[in-house]
Structure formats: C-alpha cells, structure tokens
Structure 1
C-alpha cells in the first residue's frame, strides 16, 4: 500500500488519500451509541412545553436503552438506531396548587419508522379533571414538541457521523451531510394507517378554544353487547357501513368512516368502559379529544354515558349531532338495540320467568 506520490503510480490505492478502502467498497462502521445517549439527554432533559395556562417540563430521562451506528457500504451511508426511552414529566395547571406528574414512553425510536409514526405514550400518576386536562395537553401538544427534539437528534446524528466516514476519491470534494440518506433494513416496520387529511390552515400549537361534550343514551342490550359494538371489527363495520381499520387493545389505532375519524384506544374494560383519543379529520392538525364511554347495565336497559373533552369550540354542535346520528342511532338500527323486541329476546332467553312470559306472549299474539 502507498499514499499519493509513493510507490508505483499504477496502484489503484493512489485514487484514495488514505490508501485504504478503495472506492469506499468495504464496510466501515462507527459506534454512535455513547454520543447518541448524550445528545438525546441534552435535547430532552428540561424540555419546556407551555400553552393555554398549562406549563409542563421533562424533568428526567429515566431510561435510555439501545444503540446507534453509522455505516459505509459501497459509498453509501447507512444509519442504524434503535432506542427505548422513558421520560419523567411534571405539569401545572394555572390556578392549581399541586403539580401533575407522569411519564412518556417511546418504545421504538428506530430507522424503521418515520418520526411521525413513532409511538409516544403519555401516562399520569393520579386522577381527577385537572390531571386529565394536563395529560390531554401532553398528548396533543407535548408529543409534538418531543417529536421535534427527536428530529433534531437524527439531523445532528447524520451531520456528526457523516464526517470522514466516506472519504473522497482523488479530486473529489468531501461528502456533505445534506447528501446523506438513511437506508433502512425493512424489519419491524409498523403497519401504516391510511393518512388522515388535516386542516393545514391552523398551525400546531396555536391557542385553541375547546369545550366538553356530555351525552347519555339508553340501549336495549347487554352492556357487553354495546362494548362489542365498538370494539369488534365486524360489528363496527356493520354500523359504520364502510371499511374499518382497528386494533382493539390499549394503544391500538382505529380509522373509521373513510378516514374521517381516527384515534387510539387508551383504556378498555370489557362491558364497562372505553377510553379513546379521537379526532375528526377537519380539526387542527394533530389535535385529539379524549372520549370516555361509561357503560352501565341496568335492570331493563344499558345506560351509556359519553364524555368528550377538548372538542374545538366551533365543532361542538356538529360533533354532538354526529355522535347521535352516526354512532348511537346507527348502532340501534344495525343491531336492534333500540327496540323492545331486543329486550323481550333477553327476557325470553334468561331468568326464571321466561316460560311464564312466553306463555302470555303467545296468548297476546292469538287475540
């Protein structure tokens, strides 16, 4: 081997200033793990998120496990990174005395997923209306700020580890970070839900006046039957009369009504409770409301109480009407949950009085 100006000029290594890895053909790798940990902690610790009288801050990077590397193969830069991150945060609602505390979990920050697709889960310690408002704020606004910091990590990773990894040939300029692209392996790629068209006229983070909707409705069915109507994909398809994408589990996504409605399941208690993050596609980009269905089975019906927080003020009446028209009324029509016949079927198939009641029904039908 020889450097420029040394040895036989016919040697191909003359085309490389370091006389190694001719034409960048061989695989070379740099460990970016330690640098990445420092950079992520720098970007996330003490991150402040404030808006509309709510002040939140990331106070600690509790967990940061994984690795990262920059690789050169045949003159192409390939970045691999996979991180499991847990953050501690605290928030304060204007006028409140006590701080709300919680966690943010980012289970799979990797090259297999675009930053917009990376799961970011927000949880709180405690309960009550104030805690839920702060939690919803962190979900709607806080996650966007965290994503910005993750994007900055990726930008600086490429900039820092593009230097010197691909060496120029004789007479070529040094490779610039702007010309580097990330190549992924294709493993662990999550199923991509169909994109939801959002209102781009209102920028993320703009102050938004929101209201709360409360509705109650009686259904002639068992509590579990109503729960199934919102969580079993074949039943949801029946009452929405369209293609449905749904993962009925905590953290599972759903897309309904041709993409007009999308969201995520946050809590599922069979036959009793469903909590969702829920949005209508015309709402401001990335803004989600929180919907809670409390399902209570009574003696002769099931009472469903719906509470929806953080609904844009201008959308309250339309949203209220659509719950009744496209959810409650459609469920009753599709499954007969609004008729006395359903109640009669329940009585006739359960309980010690079924034979007596059946006898009187037969007499009535022959009158």
Structure 2
C-alpha cells in the first residue's frame, strides 16, 4: 500500500483519512447479470430477417441462463460473461403465405469464444417450411451475431461508465482531437471531466405552426402532458429543466420565441456533471414546422440511447399530443 502522501496518484490517501478505494483503483466488481438480461432482450427480440424465401422475426426470449460481471483492478477492466439463450422465431413463406415457428439456441456465449465462433443452432417445428429454417440458419444467424456484438460493446462501454474514474492528474489532460467532438469547455460551462463525445443531428416535421410547437417545449402543463410525468420547467435564461421523473435535467441557456431553444441537457445515467448542449431550431412552414435538433457533447457510449430518447420520448409523444383536440392543449 502507498504510504501517506506517496505512491501512485490514483491512490489519493493524502486527501482521505479513511483510505477509501479512490477511483476504484483497487479491486471492485459490479454484477451485470440483470442489466445483461434486459439488454439481450432489447437487442434480440424484434430482429427481422428477410430474404427471397420469406420473412422471419425473433418473437421472444424464451430462456436465458447465465451471468455476467465486470471487475476493475488498477485501471483495467476485466469482463466475465457466460450465457445459454433460447429464442423463439416466427415467419411467413413468401410464395405460399404459410406461417411457421421455431427456435434459436445459443448454448455458450462467453468470453472464451469470439462471437463468430459462437454456436447458433436453428430448429423449426414439424411440417414444411424448411426454406424459412434455411433463411434463419444463414441470414438469421448473421443478424443474431450482430446483436450479440452490440451487447458486448454495450457491456464494455455503457455498463462500465464510472467504474474507471479519471485521476486527479488526468482531469486536466486534453483528449485527442479526433475523440473530442463536443463543444469547448467554456461553451458547455461544466465542471465535469472530458470524455469522448459525439454530435447528434436530427430533423423532424410536425403538423403545427412554429410558435405552437415552441410552446410545447416551454410550457409546464404541455411538457407534463407529452412526457406523462411531473416536470420542472422554468422557461427563461438560466431556468431549470427536469423531466421524466428526473431522468433528464438541465437548464435553459437561450430562448427565442418561435425560433430557437438552447438547453444545457443531460441524462441521469451520464457521468456526473457532464452536460450536452442541445439546440432546437424551429423553421416555420405555415401549417407545418421543421424542427432541427443539434445535440453536442453526447457521451459516445450513450449515442444510441440519446437518439431514442429524443425520437421516442419527445418527438413521437409530441405528435400524439398535437393530434388531440385544441382545447386539451390550452
């Protein structure tokens, strides 16, 4: 063990009388089993496989047995996972319209084997329809392996956020230019450490005038209607923002009625004190509005989930709200 005030800077004993395991430098372990089951179901169920023979879809995760964990030791992450999976699939033959069902067995997904070498067994219930079984054995197996790679990528990035924390010496270091795609620290106005980030651009058309759409993002009652949760909405410069039971928070940085909203914005599962800058531009097209979203400073490992948050929890729910009678929005 390092002596008081000496040794590796990641063991910051000079600042801690209790000798806490600072920045998880010493052995720590996190159970990823529950998280993995949810992630595997999210990535596998609903996978669609199409070909000349017909169309198949992974319908459910019938059986999932195993465990996963991640350990850290001296700044190094060590992964363990071992899974036995059985998936259900259903499909329709293109020429005859016949419907068939079957299963996909993955008996040993583990760190001991590459995904390409992982065994994938496809079976079908009795009867004709072997063309669909062949489709699942070829194109289906390829898509399943892609989903398994996505799971492992998320396990090593999304799940491990915060396990290896920046050291006191490292917090002032710059990221390589190719990794740091976020706005400058001054424009983000945050005290968090720098992490690899990306910029998200999205564009949506709404059947609404610009001023009406703008009000949905700045009026507490309307925000609560589309989010279906209590919200804190202080629509003024520096005003607070909190939505989705605290899963999203931040503040309003700039407001130009009917034209632009700029937010300092974060999701709860992001690294502490890290914010993105979100700019919403409203382009009025009479009865319609083109909404352009630019989100700078999104953690690389949260890119997909952030896109889904804006698409599913914001845009789709706002469209549903806009379809309601006018008096319900007043």
| TM-score, scaled relative to structure 2 | 0.47
Larger strand fraction of residues: 2
> Which structure would you say has the larger Rg?
1
